[in-house]
């Protein structure tokens, strides 16, 4: 059994492409079931975030497994394979494991050391496990990946001065409105990202007033209460935009919740003062064409990520320490993997040794018959201990090297010869 990963991320594709591949949390249980029905797939976890969609799977045959995952992506999202192949990368065996450890530790993130991805890896794993999509190999891999993320954050300073999309949104506003601090902020959506954004805005701007609108009014009320904010009826969000300087969208909607035509329909009511639309959603929730409406600026996740340029030097030096921790944890996984691959042959050897023990006792039946029951039990126990010791010696000397890391070139999915850990 081998582990593979097939993915698309911010390095290989911009937001307009990535958003076509994301999985909503509601769609994941069915998606995992569909994926595991492919012939070569024996277990899977789907990690879908703003900056990446990665599918981890255990397979019997690597090439067939990668092809199955690509076919699944094509079928699930109704996109032709040819159209997305230039943006896809695939890794297998050690490279796939190392990649997940680096992702969970924030080393493969756009903001090195960002903390959100560790929780996203954990949530993706738990959801897959709850839906019986994983197996022993994936369970071990993801448990160590989560451990890797925790250790990197507790043993290095890689996450200090944490930058997230929510904090970068504040920086964008500061640059646009240099002297202003009494903002009206409308949050469309009441999830984690909206919570972070509200906290950051109220911390940075003294006169910041928060309004919240959400399809579920109950969640909107919960969020608004935390920030002494106002709840806006979801159907009235368009009129509410007129009264707000900053509109932050973070929902799980799979299409725009604010369109250019709607903005134009406000008949000039919005054109007298500048507005910033910050879209923290994948798929995007704010129509990028709103940029062409007078006094309106739209920032997508990719635009926000371009703002990253501060306190990354320190993180780069901390990343070296993080890589050491990851290699240590990765070695634990590779040793465990190598041991699993030896267990079937060890069980066969154990069966043979039990037969040898029984034959030895049969061949020495005359000697055994002269012993009392207690003595017989002592000798049999000694033989069992001896058998166990022999197996331990064989295990120690039968260690297969976990093999040099084999990197699959990014965006390449056809591989004709594989060297793996087993």
DSSP states of 248-316 as a string?
EE----SS-SB-HHHHHTTTTTTTTS-EEEEE--SS--B-GGGGGSTTEEEE-HHHHHHT--SSHHHHH
C-alpha closest to that of 21 among 48, 45, 44: 48
What's residue 389's pLDDT? 81
What's residue 267's pLDDT? 65
Sort strands 246-249 and 184-188 into parallel, antiparallel or unpaired. Answer: parallel
- Scan for tokens 């409105």, then name that residue: 177
C-alpha closest to that of 188 among 121, 124, 250, 252: 250
Inter-residue contact 401 to 78 (CB < 8 Å): no
Q: Do domains 2-161+317-339 and 165-306 have the same CATH topology?
A: no
What's residue 402's pLDDT? 42
> For the chain, what are the domain ranges?
2-161+317-339, 165-306, 344-396
Q: Which residues pair with 46 in a beta bridge?
A: 55
**Which residues are CB-neighbours of 235 under 8 A, at least 6 positions away?**
none
Element (H, E) at 378: helix 373-397
What is the mean pLDDT, run by run of 10 residues, along the chain of 422 residues?
93 92 93 95 94 94 94 95 94 92 89 83 96 94 92 80 72 79 87 86 84 90 89 88 89 89 77 83 90 88 71 68 88 80 67 78 77 82 82 66 39 41 44
Looking at domain 165-306, its CATH architecture is 3-Layer(aba) Sandwich (3.40)
Rounded Cα distance, 300 and 334, in Å: 39
Rounded Cα distance, 38 and 35, in Å: 6
* CATH number, span 2-161+317-339: 3.30.460.30
Q: What is the pLDDT of residues 37-49, one digit of tens each?
A: 999 999 999 999 9
What's residue 12's pLDDT? 94
Q: What is the pLDDT of residues 99-125, one digit of tens each?
A: 999 999 988 887 777 778 899 999 999
Task: Provide the H-helix boundaries in 8-93.
Answer: 15-18, 28-36, 62-77, 81-84
- Is 0.75 topped by the overall pTM? no
What's residue 409's pLDDT? 36
What's residue 36's pLDDT? 95
Inter-residue contact 166 to 203 (CB < 8 Å): no
Catalytic residues: 50
What's residue 171's pLDDT? 80
- By the 10 Å C-beta count (0-12 exposed, 13-18 middle, 19+ buried), 405 is classed as middle
283 preceded by a cis bond (ω within 30 of 0):
yes
């Amino acid at each position: 059994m081998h582990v593979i990963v097939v993915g698309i991320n911010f390095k290989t594709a911009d937001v307009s492409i990535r958003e076509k591949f994301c999985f909503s949390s509601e769609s994941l249980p069915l998606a995992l079931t569909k994926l595991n029905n492919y012939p070569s797939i024996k277990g899977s976890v789907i990690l879908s975030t703003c900056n990446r969609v990665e599918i981890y799977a255990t397979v019997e045959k690597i090439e067939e497994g990668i092809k199955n995952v690509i076919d699944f992506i094509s079928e699930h999202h109704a996109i032709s394979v040819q159209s997305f192949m230039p943006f896809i990368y695939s890794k297998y065996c050690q490279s796939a494991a190392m990649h997940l450890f680096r992702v969970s530790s924030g080393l493969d993130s756009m903001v090195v050391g960002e903390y959100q991805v560790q929780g996203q890896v954990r949530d993706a794993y738990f959801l897959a496990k709850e839906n019986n999509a994983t197996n022993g190999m994936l369970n071990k891999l993801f448990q160590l990946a989560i451990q890797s993320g925790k250790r990197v954050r507790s043993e290095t300073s890689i996450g200090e001065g944490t930058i997230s999309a929510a904090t970068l949104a504040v920086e964008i506003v500061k640059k646009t409105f240099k002297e202003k601090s009494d903002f009206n902020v409308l949050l469309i959506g009441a999830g984690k990202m909206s919570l972070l954004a509200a906290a950051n805005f109220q911390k940075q701007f003294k006169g910041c007033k928060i309004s919240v609108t959400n399809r579920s009014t109950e969640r909107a009320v919960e969020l608004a209460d935390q920030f002494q904010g106002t709840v806006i009826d979801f159907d009235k969000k368009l009129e509410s935009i007129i009264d707000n300087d900053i509109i932050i969208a973070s929902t799980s909607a799979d299409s725009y919740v604010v369109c250019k035509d709607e903005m134009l329909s406000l008949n000039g009511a919005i054109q007298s003062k500048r507005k910033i639309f910050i879209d923290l959603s994948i798929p995007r929730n704010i129509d990028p064409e709103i940029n062409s409406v007078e006094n309106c600026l739209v920032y997508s996740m990719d635009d926000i990520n371009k703002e990253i340029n501060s306190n990354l030097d320190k993180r780069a030096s901390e990343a070296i320490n993080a890589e050491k921790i990851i290699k240590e944890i990765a070695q634990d996984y590779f040793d465990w993997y190598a041991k699993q691959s030896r267990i079937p042959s060890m069980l066969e050897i154990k069966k043979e040794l039990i037969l040898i023990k029984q034959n030895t006792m049969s061949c020495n039946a005359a000697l055994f018959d002269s012993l009392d029951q207690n003595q017989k039990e002592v000798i049999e126990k000694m033989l069992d201990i001896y058998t166990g010791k022999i197996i331990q010696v064989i295990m120690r000397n039968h260690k297969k090297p976990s093999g040099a890391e084999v990197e699959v070139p990014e965006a390449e999915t056809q591989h004709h010869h594989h060297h793996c850990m087993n």
